[in-house]
Amino acid sequence: MPQNGLNLLIVDDDVLYGRLLKANLDRPGRLRVEVVQSAEQALDYLAVNLVQAVLTDLTMPGMGGIELVRRIRETDRSLPVLIMTADGTIERAVEGIRAGANEFLPKPLNITALVALMERAVEERPLREEIAAKQEQRAVSGGNILLGTNPKLDAIRQFALQLATAPDARVLITGESGTGKSLLARAIHDLSGVSGRFVEVNCAALPPQLLESELFGHEKGAFTDAKNLKRGLIECAEAGTLLLDEIGTMSLELQAKLLLFLETREIRRVGGTQPIRIRTRVIAATNEDLRRRVREREFRQDLLYRLDVASVEMPPLREMPEVIPDLAKRFAREIAADLHRPAPQLAPESFEELSRYPWPGNVRELRNAVERALIFAGSGPLRVLPPKYDPETQPGAPGVALEYGLTLEEVERRYLGAVLSQNSRDLGEIAADLGISRKTLWEKRRRYAL
């Protein structure tokens, strides 16, 4: 808190309520309150006065609270702004947070809690200013978040740059498998410049009981094999970013525990009794329709609302054929470096075929095609072909099943890789076609790093 106290600006068209708040909040030497009756008056006041926090009503004649937040954020990305309302809904709260509000508070206000929230927001302002400064420094390189020139990618880059200055915001990234959801999550984390780690958790790769222990940790003796205390991955993401990939596969029981963490910012290790406060950005990613799963009672609606504060859909590669040449070149450089080879020159005739192919496996499938071409490359320019032109799939060519010397494990890995790269359907449907369970398919994907 500033040495001379905290200066708070209250914006509320209800004159009596504004006076009531001022009477309850004014604390000589600690909290000084100024009240105005409109968003327009608030902007005029902020133009010539220094305040440490703003508390605004949601609904007012003329400019409303959410638009006021947007206007403030145009010139000050770190000023704490709290929205209060007597008739707010979850949707309006989400809209306010997306606009840049720090908190969304229901009326009547709890004065003690309000003061604590403002003081915490003021204490965190230097961190927000530092993040904003780093974000601006990196804005020039923002085009590297996702390679290529395309309006959809431009919007996603801007989304990442905006989210970088909001370390507590929850983010939901949707899109088909292989579109680069984890890449975007990593970009948001890197642009933030936060001190903590980027921790990625694949919710579908572990059974519910093990996933709970991985996320929340456990105390020594919590269960038979718990011989030592274990910090969970949520704790490991303190002051950083937690990516919950394939969030739609999480069990309903575990969803309830995750919701409690998002609401309280506290966890309890399995077998523990003491709450542990954790501050981390939570990003959820999925290739499923979570609203459909809510209707099917397989996903909690309240958890969806909590996660969907800021959301974006990653576009499939088939909708952006113009970015394929640049992606192929970058993958060729990266994979060649991993193989300790010089960066190859791609044959120009490759690009037309690559751009015509629909890429059901999206960016991941394109990378696999480039890697396959590099492994079997001869001399001269590298020719990268989409899977339908792969010699291994042509009649009379030696396919995986006819290639002797391979282990059964390698045959399975290649077969599953081909099935997944050429199929964009729900994984449950793919698993059914293969005659295995969805869990078994996820375990094999993880085992073979597909």
The residue written with tokens 């004014």 in the block is 26
Q: What pLDDT shows up at residue 116?
A: 80
Burial of 65 (0-12, 13-18, 19+ CB in 10 A): buried
Max avg pLDDT among 16-30, 300-314, 434-448: 300-314
DSSP code string of 187-248: HHHHHHT-SS-EEEEETTSS-HHHHHHHHHEE-TTSSTT--S-EE-HHHHTTTSEEEEETGG
Please give the average per-residue pLDDT across 325-343, as a whole number: 85
Q: Tell me how crowded residue 319 is: count the other CB atoms within 10 A of its CB.
A: 11
**320 with 150: CB under 8 angstroms?**
yes
Q: What pLDDT shows up at residue 134?
A: 53
To which H or E segment does residue 123 belong? helix 111-138
| 416-433: pLDDT as tens digits | 877 777 666 677 778 777
Domains, the chain, ordered by start: 6-129 (3.40.50.2300), 145-315 (3.40.50.300), 317-389 (1.10.8.60), 392-450 (no CATH)
Question: Is residue 133 helix, strand or coil?
Answer: helix
| 90-145: pLDDT as tens digits | 667 777 777 788 888 888 888 888 888 877 777 777 766 666 555 554 443 443 44
Q: Are strands 266-267 and 276-277 parallel, antiparallel or unpaired?
A: antiparallel
